[in-house]
Amino acid sequence: MIALSILLVAGLIIIAATWSDVRTVRTQLRQMRQARPQAEPDPAEPPPLPQTLEGALTRQLLTNQVTAAQYRRAMRAVAMRDAERHPVDLPPDLNPPQMH
């Protein structure tokens, strides 16, 4: 019982010692948020164009320029092209079994 009381008192002392620090940090964060200008996108400025084929396809999907099926077919073609251009060399013990 005495040990529990000592732990409780120690915990209260720690809380009391750090409470003012917590309040100070909260106040500083609040002030920083209020001082920070809110970045709003300029409606006259269009979003940047995608830099990759995958990005362009994704943008077309999100803007309903292509259907989901068209997107999947195009991404499959991109993956196949990448596999041909940049084949992955697996260590000999990780090669898949040969199909006969």
Place of tokens 């041909």: 84
Binned at pLDDT 50, 70 and 90, residue 72 comes out as very high
> 74 lies in a domain?
yes
Average pLDDT of the chain, as a whole number: 80
Cβ(53)–Cβ(80) below 8 Å: no
Q: What is the mean pLDDT of residues 55-75?
A: 91
pLDDT at 95: 62
> 96 lies in a domain?
no
Q: Which residue has the higher pLDDT, 39 or 65?
A: 65
Cβ(23)–Cβ(15) below 8 Å: no
Q: What is the pTM of this model?
A: 0.45
In the chain, the number of structural domains is 2
> 62 lies in a domain?
yes
- In the predicted model, is pLDDT for residue 96 greater than 70? no
Q: Measured on CA atoms in the order 25, 28, 33, 36, is the torsion positive or negative?
A: negative
Binned at pLDDT 50, 70 and 90, residue 10 comes out as confident
pLDDT at 17: 67
Alpha helices in 1-100 (DSSP H): 2-35, 53-62, 68-85
Instruction: Identify the domain containing residue 60 by its residue range.
Output: 52-87
Cβ(57)–Cβ(66) below 8 Å: yes
> 23 lies in a domain?
yes
> 93 lies in a domain?
no
Cβ(57)–Cβ(71) below 8 Å: yes
- In the predicted model, is pLDDT for residue 74 greater than 90? yes
Residue 48 CA neighbour count, 13 Å, CB half:
4
> 12 lies in a domain?
yes
> 22 lies in a domain?
yes
